[in-house]
A = this chain, B = another copy of it.
Amino acid sequence: MTYCLGLYLEEGLVFLSDTRTNAGVDNVSTYCKMHHFHEDQERLIVLLSSGNLAVTQAVLHRVTSSNLRLNEEVEKSPKNLREVADLYQAAELVGDAVREVYQHDGKALEAQGAGFQVSFLLGGQIRGEPMRLFQIYSAGNFIEATIDTPFLQIGEHKYGKPILDRVVKYQTSIQDGIKLSLISMDSTLRSNLSVGMPVDLLIYERDSFQSSMRRRIDETDPYFQNLRGYWSSALQHAYQQAPDPDWQE
């Protein structure tokens, strides 16, 4: 499994992804699920992936390669994430690539009893266009984060959702967004073995057209260790201080 998270905030975007890939419990690997494409001061596009690794890598190849592919109209434009004019076109491009891979591989996967399950988070900004964040489904269709729903998750999303549901707002600062994303990831790491360290973090500040931080965080990272310890003891403390039941039987 996977857990990837994107926050769509007034100040910018926060992206966080784990790195665990497994085919059964005895074939566990580390793969970066966060990919970014940038032209300095012109565009930054971040793509987070979840699902069958062969499929997500095939999609990634299609949206980044400038080589022509078999069975493809030569006229197709834009061909890759460096050519799209805005984030909506980028989401369409990824959605189309998902459909192409499904056409190419879907039947063979189903014949082996393997489902065609992938999803992506895609966010960023191109100069002259608004900053946007999308979630793209296996069917190639997609939804967008809004001011009302300022975060999107893919993969094993349930364990880490309650803290986001309660706290994340569009007005949340990037600084708080980093903390909340790491807390959400920590809850998922603790409850599901198929989501694993290290995690990749990328911060994009609105209208900057470049990432302001990219960091791989592993088990030994002093800040993450500190935050995990803090959060565990804060929860312990919070429930110990919670009001006792006062029902009269």
Residues of A within 8 A of B (CB): 158-163, 165-167, 175-176, 178-180, 183, 187-188, 190-191, 213, 215, 223, 226-227, 230-232, 234-236, 238-247, 249
Contacts and interface: CB of A to CB of B under 8 A. Distances in A.
Contacts of A249: 213
10 contacts: A159-B159, A160-B162, A161-B191, A162-B191, A167-B239, A176-B239, A223-B247, A226-B243, A227-B243, A231-B242
Given A158-B191, A159-B159, A180 B239 contact: yes
Contacts of A232: 166
A107 B247 CA distance: 47
A167 B239 CA distance: 9
Given A167-B236, A235-B238, 18 more contacts: A158-B159, A159-B161, A160-B162, A162-B187, A163-B239, A165-B190, A166-B232, A175-B244, A179-B239, A179-B242, A179-B244, A179-B245, A183-B242, A223-B245, A227-B243, A230-B242, A230-B243, A238-B238
A239 B249 CA distance: 36
CB-CB nearest 10 A-B residue pairs = A158-B158, A234-B238, A162-B187, A179-B242, A161-B191, A159-B162, A165-B191, A158-B159, A226-B243, A162-B191
A190 B162 contact: yes
Nearest to A190: B165
Contacts of A175: 244-245
B158 A239 contact: no
Contacts of A236: 166-167
A178 B245 contact: yes
Nearest to A229: B243
A167 B63 CA distance: 44
Nearest to A215: B247
Contacts of A183: 239, 242
